[in-house]
Amino acid sequence: MAVAMGRPFVIQPCLSSSLCFLSKNINKSSFGAAETFLPAKPSSTRCTTVVVHAQQRPTWLPGLDPPPYLDGTLAGDFGFDPLGLGEDPQSLKWYVQAELVHARFAMAGVAGILFTDLLRVTGIRKLPVWYEAGAVKFEFASTRTLIVVQLLLMGFAETKRYMDFVSPGSQAKEGSFFGLESALEGLEPGYPGGPLLNPLGLARDIENAHVWKLKEIKNGRLAMVAMVGIFVQAAVTHAGPIDNLIEHLSNPWHRTIIQTLANSGS
């Protein structure tokens, strides 16, 4: 039997003329003593041992038993998989990589939107609001040229990433990346590392870099939620995030998400 609170303790009736209740490792502040013996009526007894274990790992919902395939070894694993998408081990590996890539894109997207929106609002640069930036025509290249270049570059990067996922370490072999293999190192799938992508060397020992992996995936999940908020905000208010923030700060009690959604529906 498992519970999510309390410290481990053992109940053992003693094989003797009297029955004893023996508790170990119980909080003294709650029960007043480390060991308590309560006499009982003499009777013939049989030995029974009941072990209660405290929950050792945090879960997204306290007291919830995580699925057996989410054993806490993955970075950011809090047992959240209500749809059971990770039951298949191969699918779980792919979902881990997919979440990691989406998290990194979301972090880059949020940073880019906030930075350019701040430049626009302050008047430092004459820039379009972020959701209209894609319609801007550039003088140095046509839209068609930019699309082709982006498809080629992104296609190459994603193909290399997929090949490294299928065969870990294959993209770090000599001659597989125009002689730049040593600059990428190929620590493990999803973590290329090296001077180019890990210039500060924060996670050179990738197998023991659980803290850095946890920080990255937590910030990435927060960024994905932020991107959803920015999308909804733009669709409802037709303004950038900095504009919305300034409007809210100008009248915090009457310029909130509740009033904004109520006015948009009317």
The answer on whether 210 is annotated among ligand-binding residues is no
The answer on whether 102 is annotated among ligand-binding residues is yes
The answer on whether 216 is annotated among ligand-binding residues is yes
The answer on whether 12 is annotated among ligand-binding residues is no
Structural contact between residues 190 and 100, judged by C-beta atoms closer than 8 angstroms:
yes
Q: Which of 14-18, 79-83, 104-108, 133-137 has the lowest mean pLDDT?
A: 14-18
The answer on whether 99 is annotated among ligand-binding residues is yes
Question: What is the C-alpha separation between 129 and 241, in angstroms, rounded?
Answer: 9
Structural contact between residues 28 and 34, judged by C-beta atoms closer than 8 angstroms:
yes
Render pLDDT for 122-172 as a digit per residue (tens, 0 to 9): 999 999 999 998 888 888 888 899 999 999 999 988 888 888 888 877 766
The answer on whether 90 is annotated among ligand-binding residues is no
Strands 9-11 and 50-52: antiparallel
- Per cent of the chain over pLDDT 90 is 36
The answer on whether 46 is annotated among ligand-binding residues is no
Looking at the predicted structure, is the pLDDT value of residue 241 above 80? Answer: yes
**pLDDT, the chain, mean:** 78
pLDDT of residue 47: 53
Looking at the predicted structure, is the pLDDT value of residue 212 above 80? Answer: yes
